[in-house]
Amino acid sequence: MKLTQTPEYTMITKISPEKIQSACTALTIITAAAIAISCTGQTRNTFTFNPAERSSNTLVIWAHSDIQPKRISQRSYYESAIADTKQTFKKADIALVAGNIIFHKNSASVYRWFLDQKKKSGIPRWYEIPGNTDMNDIANFRKLVRSDTHYAASAGNILFLFMGDEDTEPSQYISDSTFRWWKKNVEGAGDKIVITVTHGCLEQSGLFGAISPDSTIRNSRRFAEVLKKHRVDIWISGGTHIPNFFNGKMKEQEELWGTLFINAASITKELPSGVESAFLVFRENSQECLIMLRNHEYKRFDKKYNLRHALSRPFTWARVLGLD
């Protein structure tokens, strides 16, 4: 939950209905946040982070998507992002690819090039899902990258739920059987921090891309109804190629129990977007996640868009890093 600063009030003789409604809304948000903190018995424990320093009590996740080089010359975008990440971060633990590694059909050579870049990154754990363009050559995705298109993984007390595209249409299709699998995992998450990764975003996410049906998950409402009852801490997606300065790439949705939606796109450089991605940093025993947006082309963080997100519970390395 995100706390809203309560304004100072002075004596007035008349209060408009709009001001009363606004005050009631603010009070509701503050009360809900206070309840969430009291239930966990924890404070957020704000921390500082220097990517140039190696720390054993942090978990660094690189979230990115939409690599999809249309020609060989465009491979340089991803190669520069890999090099920039390796140079900037002393330690990165996990890379998440939210779809669209390739663009064309019969792209086995592009998948193999992608695997070479993974090796060069020095990042030990990689998790990928297919986006709609990967479905153009899903056989080679399954053969070369990953056989499963929906699966779970864990790092410490974080539960990752991955759901890839299931057809070639721009809007993401997730079957009812995959949805039921996700719902069962969310409902049974218990004491875990839950992160969902898809290619499209939810219509209810509030992200800039949600205004376009081509960028969303079909029948998003079924997911939103679950989010109203069960906490998913973070939802990462791709698909919408917009630059960080659009300020529409992250959104905390209070009505969906405070889920933070992140658009991690895109690596491919298409005007007006640059070569951009997101980094998530978790610290042992902290109930806060630091999200930093990176422009790899200019080798800088867009610091004014950094966000500190309150998690449902503190992160801990209590569980061994690995695949469930």
pLDDT in tens, the chain (324 residues): 433 333 332 223 343 444 333 333 333 333 333 333 333 333 456 788 999 998 889 999 999 999 999 999 999 999 999 999 999 999 999 999 999 999 999 999 999 999 999 999 999 999 999 999 999 999 999 999 999 999 999 999 999 999 999 999 999 999 999 999 999 999 999 999 999 999 999 999 999 989 999 999 999 999 999 999 999 999 999 999 888 887 789 999 999 999 999 999 999 998 788 899 999 999 999 999 999 999 999 999 988 889 999 999 999 987 544 444
Please tell me the predicted confidence (pLDDT) of residue 6: 34
Handedness of CA 307, 310, 315, 321 (dihedral sign): negative
Please tell me the predicted confidence (pLDDT) of residue 110: 98
CA distances from 279 to 67, 89, 136, 156, 214 (A): 16, 10, 28, 17, 25
- State the pairing for strand pair 288-295/307-310: antiparallel
Please tell me the predicted confidence (pLDDT) of residue 318: 73
Tokens 């053969």 label which residue? 143
> Whole-angstrom Cα distance, residue 93 to residue 293?
17
Which residues, including other chains, have CB under 8 Å from residue 89's CB and lie 6 or more apart?
Answer: 51, 52, 60, 62, 279
Q: Which of 212, 199, 310 is nearest to 252 (CA)?
A: 310
* Helices assigned H by DSSP within 5-61: 17-40
- CA 163, 166, 172 angle in degrees (round to 5)? 75
Q: State in words which class domain 58-310 has.
A: alpha beta
Please tell me the predicted confidence (pLDDT) of residue 42: 39
> Whole-angstrom Cα distance, residue 269 to residue 77?
7
> Whole-angstrom Cα distance, residue 314 to residue 324?
21
Q: Which of 90, 61, 49, 102 is nearest to 303 (CA)?
A: 49
CA dihedral angle for residue 53, residue 54, residue 57, residue 61, rounded to 10 degrees:
90
- Other residues' Cβ atoms within 10 Å of the Cβ of residue 168: 14
> Whole-angstrom Cα distance, residue 182 to residue 25?
31
pTM of the model: 0.84
> Whole-angstrom Cα distance, residue 4 to residue 128?
36
- State the pairing for strand pair 259-263/58-64: unpaired
- 10 Å CB burial of residue 226 (0-12, 13-18, 19+) is middle
Please tell me the predicted confidence (pLDDT) of residue 298: 94
